């Protein structure tokens, strides 16, 4: 009977370690600061993770853009075919200022409090921008 208990404990420990390893490999979990790892995926996948039913505004080869939420909670979610496309878009958007949540090949734009809340679901980096350039936070 002692042998069985020991096997269950080892198996349970091994299972826990395997689950933690799987979470690390799949990008689940956080960076230790409570912010999840930066999300990846299609516009629809990112919107679902953000808790949004996207209203598609642009569906082009180089970018896809949708609005989410309404009123003061409204934001725009944009995905890009390439990193270069995202960089070019940000350069142009810089002229307008704003608060951006940046991920790999995606950007969310909205009010500061909305973007901060989205970061808790999508991860990423918050940048506040004005005519002087991007300022990471």
Distance CA 120, CA 108 (A): 13
Handedness of CA 91, 92, 94, 95 (dihedral sign): positive
Tell me the pLDDT of the chain (137 aa) as tens digits. 444 443 334 334 333 333 333 333 334 444 456 789 999 999 999 999 999 999 999 999 999 999 999 999 999 999 999 999 999 999 999 888 899 999 999 999 999 999 999 999 999 999 998 754 444 54
Structure tokens at 33: 């600061």
Is the whole-model pTM more than 0.75?
A: no
Strands 106-110 and 98-103: antiparallel
């Amino acid at each position: 009977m002692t042998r069985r208990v020991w096997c269950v404990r080892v198996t349970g420990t091994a299972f826990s370690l395997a689950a933690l390893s799987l979470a690390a490999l799949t990008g689940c979990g956080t960076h230790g600061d409570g912010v999840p790892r930066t999300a990846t995926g299609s516009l629809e996948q990112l919107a679902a993770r953000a808790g949004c039913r996207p209203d598609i505004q642009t569906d082009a080869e180089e970018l896809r853009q949708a609005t989410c939420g309404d009123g003061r909670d409204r934001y725009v979610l944009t995905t890009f075919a390439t990193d270069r496309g995202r960089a070019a878009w940000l350069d142009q958007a810089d002229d307008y200022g704003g608060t951006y949540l940046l991920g790999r090949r995606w950007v969310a734009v909205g009010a500061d409090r909305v973007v901060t809340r989205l970061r808790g679901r999508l991860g990423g980096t918050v940048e506040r921008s004005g005519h002087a350039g991007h300022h990471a936070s």
